[in-house]
Amino acid sequence: MSASIEVRVRYFASLREAFGATEILVAEAGATVGSIRDALIARSPAHAQALARGRAVRTALDQTLCGEAAVVHDGAELAFFPPVTGG
């Protein structure tokens, strides 16, 4: 039996409108940002569309921008947000 971890997932901008601000996700110990994104994509058609691999979605782990290979630890905060454009 593998250990599990709890991760606070936060959504910003249009993702927040679609999914709410925050949720707690249980994942396998050693999970990566990419594997958590895959799990979220598999959750529902809305998640699949918003977090699809071809979409520009940035990620931050504990408030630091990161790539999908970053390993997530128990109690981590993982944020998903679209790139910000100014004007």
Q: Which residues pair with 71 in a beta bridge?
A: 32
The tokens for 21 are: 């601000």
Give per-residue pLDDT as tens, 25-72. 999 999 999 999 999 999 999 999 999 988 999 999 999 999 999 999
The tokens for 55 are: 């979409």
Instruction: Delimit the domains of the chain by residue range.
Output: 4-81
Do residues 77 and 10 touch, judged by C-beta distance below 8 A? yes
Instruction: Give the predicted TM-score (pTM) of the model.
Output: 0.91
Q: Which residues pair with 27 in a beta bridge?
A: 5
Name the CATH topology of 4-81.
Ubiquitin-like (UB roll) (3.10.20)
Q: What are phi and psi of 23, to 5 degrees?
A: -150, 160
Q: What are phi and psi of 49, to 5 degrees?
A: -70, -45
